[in-house]
């Protein structure tokens, strides 16, 4: 059946559901921003039409039969680049794991908050006639492209002997800040998640979280710029770690772990040799894996030896890593990731972490 939109349609959505009654509320919300067709999972088209903006899946993610049915239907190559939004019945990790394993590009959870759902729908399934959509989309794309260009220089050119300059980073910062301010952290993460491999994606995720956190805290423009620069280059040393180790589809051996732990020092030495990077950026590159209790690396710093900017980057770095999909595990939900960070206790700045809560849980 179809649900007609209450205004001119801005997108075409397919709502795959176990139960029309169960999905009626969601269908009514979706209908305010587009044309919605509700189909049982057995009738998900094998090859979706080109006019389809995306698919929303509302099934029992604890049902192996329902999960397998959706998996079989979404295998067609035409679904690979299509946004897929999954409905979670609760915030438990199991449902989120199933959703991401089925290729989710985003999730929403019951009970529904109509405004929140619509924000996520607009981010996940952009409509060509959305107010200011074209301008926002261009701003977002320019920001992602600028950040990506810096990451390319880090991972491809730096190991080949082409130095990264402070000016390379500065050229990108304004576009990145504007992109997240004009659109949203969610849209930034969605755009990055669709287009970049693991090493690039992590750096761009950390940058997005850092900028959004800075904006949430109401930092001055110059402080936002400082944080953006630091986040972009924080993992520069990984450019010197073998890709086979970085992208290994499983847990690292002790020897491989020791190799990865060289990246803060390697990154620091590369940027310090270039000569133009501010001390605080070098501090972030070298110390973003230090913990307040002295258990981090490479220098075993503790307490007041760790600067505020490093503390902040450490928090967004850990959160980004937890919510990313890795070769050896599914991503944790933002709520679960935040809970895990709270359990880290005195290793990280818990007061700063609580300030990060609205950013982490608002995505």
Q: Decide if pLDDT at 139 tops 60.
A: yes
CATH C-level class of 2-124: alpha beta
Mean pLDDT of the 317-343 span: 89
Mean pLDDT of the 249-266 span: 93
Contact 293, 184 (CB under 8 A): no
pLDDT of residue 7: 45
204: its two tokens: 């761009």
In sequence order, the β-bridge partners of residue 39 are: 16
Instruction: In whole angstroms, give the CA distance from residue 186 to residue 167.
Output: 28
Instruction: In whole angstroms, give the CA distance from residue 247 to residue 199.
Output: 8
Per-residue pLDDT band for 134 (boundaries 50, 70, 90) equals low
Residue-wise pLDDT tens digits, 89-129: 865 566 777 787 787 777 888 888 888 788 777 777 766 55
pLDDT of residue 108: 84
Residue-wise pLDDT tens digits, 11-62: 889 999 988 788 999 999 998 888 899 999 989 988 888 788 889 999 998 8
| CATH architecture, domain defined by 133-361 | Orthogonal Bundle (1.10)
165-169, 302-306, 331-335: segment of lowest average pLDDT:
331-335
pLDDT of residue 93: 62
Residue-wise pLDDT tens digits, 179-234: 998 888 988 988 887 665 777 899 999 999 999 999 988 898 899 999 999 999 99
pLDDT of residue 302: 97
Per-residue pLDDT band for 269 (boundaries 50, 70, 90) equals very high
Query: In the chain, which segments carry CATH 3.40.50.2300?
Result: 2-124
pLDDT of residue 4: 45
Query: What percent of the chain is modeled with pLDDT above 70?
Result: 92
Q: What is the pTM of this model?
A: 0.70
Instruction: In whole angstroms, give the CA distance from residue 54 to residue 60.
Output: 20
Ramachandran class of 59: left when φ > 0, alpha when ψ lies in -120 to 50, beta otherwise? beta
Contact 147, 207 (CB under 8 A): yes
pLDDT of residue 91: 55
Per-residue pLDDT band for 5 (boundaries 50, 70, 90) equals very low
Query: In the chain, which segments carry CATH 1.10.3210.10?
Result: 133-361
């Amino acid at each position: 059946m179809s649900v007609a939109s209450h205004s001119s349609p801005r997108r075409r959505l397919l709502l795959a559901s176990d139960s029309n009654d169960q999905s009626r509320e969601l269908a009514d919300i979706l209908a305010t921003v587009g044309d919605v067709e509700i189909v049982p999972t057995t009738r998900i088209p094998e090859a979706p039409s080109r006019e389809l903006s995306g698919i929303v899946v509302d099934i029992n993610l604890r049902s192996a039969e329902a999960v397998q049915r959706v998996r079989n239907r979404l295998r067609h190559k035409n679904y690979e680049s299509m946004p897929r939004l999954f409905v979670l019945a609760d915030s438990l990790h199991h449902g989120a794991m199933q959703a991401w394993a089925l290729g989710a590009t985003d999730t929403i959870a019951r009970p529904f908050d109509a405004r929140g759902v619509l924000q996520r729908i607009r981010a996940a399934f952009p409509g060509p006639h959305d107010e200011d959509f074209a301008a926002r989309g261009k701003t977002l794309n320019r920001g992602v492209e600028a950040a990506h260009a810096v990451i390319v220089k880090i991972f491809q050119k730096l190991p080949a002997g082409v130095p990264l300059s402070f000016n390379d980073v500065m050229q990108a910062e304004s576009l990145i800040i504007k992109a997240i301010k004009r659109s949203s952290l969610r849209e930034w993460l969605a755009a990055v998640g669709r287009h970049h491999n693991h090493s690039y994606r992590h750096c761009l995720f950390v940058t997005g979280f850092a900028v959004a956190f800075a904006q949430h805290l109401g930092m001055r423009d110059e402080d936002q710029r400082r944080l953006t620069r630091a986040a972009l280059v924080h993992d520069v040393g990984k450019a010197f770690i073998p890709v086979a180790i970085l992208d290994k589809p499983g847990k690292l051996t002790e020897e491989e772990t020791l190799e990865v732990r060289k990246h803060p020092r390697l990154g620091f030495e590369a940027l310090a040799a270039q000569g133009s990077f501010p001390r605080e950026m070098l501090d972030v590159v070298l110390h973003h894996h230090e913990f307040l209790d002295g258990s981090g690396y490479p220098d075993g710093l503790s307490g007041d030896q760790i600067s505020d900017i490093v503390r902040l980057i450490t928090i967004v770095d850990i959160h980004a890593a937890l919510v990313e999909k890795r070769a050896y595990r599914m991503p944790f939900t933002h709520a679960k990731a935040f809970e895990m960070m709270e359990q880290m206790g005195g290793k990280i700045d818990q007061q700063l972490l609580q300030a990060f809560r609205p950013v982490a849980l608002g995505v």
